[in-house]
């Protein structure tokens, strides 16, 4: 098996269900340059932070909160940048006020964040799993490119399938932004644990650029149906 977005997805996220019907997420970071690869995903309280290795300086485009979750409500947000915190606060407010978790909130926040100001105009991507106290989880993913408005989609979950977006369409030599008019990427997962999910995405994403592995890290998360508690696992190329 190979990554569903091709050899170079850039940053990539999926949300959906395990085969047993539990909410799940997966996040992948890849990089072509040494600066992009020298990062590590670190659990910190109710978050997973993408940070630098060693004594590298902080960079707001490469270092950010990748995942934030709450074991009381069962909500989780995953993204590739500064938008994680804003989306988290917006959908937490909707949950606490018993308001529908509509898609247009993510659309507005992604358009406010805009694409990254780098040479590739890297899109910003995000996903949220949320819902009311007595309702089934709602699954939403979105992307904003520099050349079009944000596009946001509500995912209809299927057991054993996660759907998502990536920053790039997969070309290692000439990265182009993911096409939101194309079908959302599809990740099939037959395992049961967060560790298996992180490993599954990491293993099928093996690719080399300039003689070096592009993989930085992967994150897997699975929510308990009974307690709404999230279990997350990370796989890092480098360890702190």
pLDDT value, residue 95:
94
Tell me: pLDDT of 225 over 90: no
- Of all residues in the chain, what percent carry a pLDDT higher than 70? 99
Quick check: is 6 in a domain? no
CATH of the domain at 134: 3.60.20.20
Three-state SS at 88: helix
Number of structural domains (the chain) is: 1
Q: Classify residue 129 by burial, with Cβ atoms within 10 Å: 0-12, 13-18, 19+.
A: buried
Which phi and psi (to 5°) does residue 44 adopt?
A: -150, 105
What's the CA gap between 24 and 22, in Å, rounded?
6
Quick check: is 228 in a domain? yes
Q: How many whole angstroms from its chain centre is CA 36?
A: 17
220 is written with which tokens? 């897997």
174 is written with which tokens? 């000439």
Q: Which helix (H) or strand (E) holds 143?
A: strand 138-145
Listed in sequence order, the residues at least 6 apart from 32 whose beta carbon sits closer than 8 Å to its beta carbon are 8, 172, 175, 209, 210, 214
**How confident is the prediction for the chain on average, in pLDDT?**
95
Name the pLDDT band for 193 (thresholds 50, 70, 90): very high
Quick check: is 1 in a domain? no
Quick check: is 2 in a domain? no
Tell me: pLDDT of 64 over 90: yes
Q: Classify residue 92 by burial, with Cβ atoms within 10 Å: 0-12, 13-18, 19+.
A: middle
151 is written with which tokens? 């596009």
What's the CA gap between 127 and 150, in Å, rounded?
13
pLDDT value, residue 113:
96
For Cα atoms 161, 166, 170, give the angle at the middle one, nearest 5 degrees.
Answer: 105
Quick check: is 99 in a domain? yes
Q: What is the mean pLDDT of residues 32-40?
A: 92
Its pTM surpasses 0.95:
yes
Name the pLDDT band for 226 (thresholds 50, 70, 90): confident
Quick check: is 22 in a domain? yes
pLDDT value, residue 60:
87
Q: What is the mean pLDDT of residues 186-206?
A: 97
Quick check: is 3 in a domain? no
Kindly report which listed range (99-103, 162-166, 205-209, 223-227) carries the lowest average pLDDT score: 223-227
196 is written with which tokens? 């298996």
Quick check: is 124 in a domain? yes
Determine the structural domain holding residue 139 and report its residue range.
11-236
């Amino acid at each position: 098996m190979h990554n569903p977005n091709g050899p170079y997805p850039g940053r990539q996220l999926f949300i959906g269900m395990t085969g047993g019907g539990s909410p799940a997420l997966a996040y992948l970071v890849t990089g072509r340059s040494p600066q992009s690869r020298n990062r590590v995903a670190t659990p910190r309280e109710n978050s997973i932070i993408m940070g630098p290795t060693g004594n590298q300086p902080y960079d707001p485009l490469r270092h950010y909160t990748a995942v934030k979750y709450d074991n009381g409500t069962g909500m989780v947000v995953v993204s590739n940048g500064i938008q994680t915190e804003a989306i988290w606060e917006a959908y937490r407010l909707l949950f606490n006020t018993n308001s529908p978790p509509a898609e247009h909130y993510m659309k507005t926040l992604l358009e406010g964040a805009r694409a990254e100001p780098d040479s590739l105009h890297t899109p910003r991507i995000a996903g949220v799993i949320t819902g009311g106290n007595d309702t089934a989880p709602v699954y939403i993913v979105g992307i904003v490119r520099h050349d079009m408005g944000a596009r946001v989609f509500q995912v209809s979950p299927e057991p054993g399938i996660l759907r998502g977006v990536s920053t790039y369409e997969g070309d290692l030599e000439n990265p182009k932004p993911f096409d939101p008019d194309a079908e959302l990427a599809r990740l099939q997962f037959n395992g049961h644990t967060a560790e298996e999910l992180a490993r599954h995405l990491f293993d099928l994403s093996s690719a080399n650029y300039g003689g070096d592995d592009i993989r930085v890290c992967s994150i897997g998360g699975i929510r308990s149906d009974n307690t709404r508690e999230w279990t997350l696992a990370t796989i890092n190329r480098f360890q702190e």
